[in-house]
């Protein structure tokens, strides 16, 4: 009986840990120059949001898109948990995995070369709140990227 309970708890813990990544949302990408809007939850920030709870400033950038996007990708890869999973032209998608619970957040960047700014969206896949993790990540990315510009 003791082993059955232990096995059950171990199985549940394993399922919990592997289930924290969630699946990649189907609404990611750029459509008509727009990233997906943030949901109503408090675990998303976007430079294209219109409400104060989700709004964050775009990242200033200047130069050829090939150079800017490679610099951006290298900056993201240098951050803990950052992994660029897609880089096409002026669009980049990355995933950030948290240390302990292995939660995955999605970060998207769209370089608007004409306006000299990177539109950005960072959102948790699971939960309602993120204790400002996505906002802090974008601000850290902004500071690190500014050093490369």
Residues β-bridged to residue 92? 87, 109
What is the percent of the chain where pLDDT is above 70?
A: 86
Phi, psi of 104 (to 5 degrees): -115, 130
Please report how the helices 133-148 and 65-78 are oriented relative to each other, as an axis angle in degrees rounded to 10: 130
pTM: predicted TM-score of the whole model, two decimal places: 0.84
Fold of 32-148: TATA-Binding Protein (3.30.310)
98 by DSSP, 3-state: which?
Answer: coil
Nearest-angstrom CA–CA distance, 79 and 27: 25
Structure tokens at 130: 């993120």
pLDDT digits (tens, 9 = 90+) for 76-114: 999 999 999 999 999 999 999 998 889 999 999 999 999
Helix (H, G, I), strand (E, B) or coil at 24: coil
Give the model's confidence band at 22: pLDDT under 50 very low, under 70 low, under 90 confident, else very high: confident
The single-letter DSSP state of residue 19 is: G
Locate the domains of the chain by residue range. 32-148
Contact 68, 148 (CB under 8 A): no
């Amino acid at each position: 009986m003791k082993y059955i309970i232990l096995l059950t708890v171990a199985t549940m813990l394993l399922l919990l840990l592997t289930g924290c990544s969630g699946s990649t949302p189907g609404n990611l990408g750029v459509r008509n120059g727009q990233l997906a809007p943030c949901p109503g939850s408090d675990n998303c920030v976007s430079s294209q949001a219109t409400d104060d709870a989700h709004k964050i400033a775009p990242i200033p950038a200047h130069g050829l898109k090939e150079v800017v996007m490679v610099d951006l990708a290298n900056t993201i890869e240098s951050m803990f948990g950052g992994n660029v999973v897609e880089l096409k032209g002026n669009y980049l998608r990355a995933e950030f995995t948290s240390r302990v619970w292995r939660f995955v957040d999605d970060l998207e960047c769209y370089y608007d070369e004409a306006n000299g700014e990177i539109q950005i969206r960072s959102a948790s896949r699971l939960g309602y709140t993120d204790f400002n993790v996505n906002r802090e990540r974008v601000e850290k990315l902004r500071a690190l990227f500014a050093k490369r510009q």
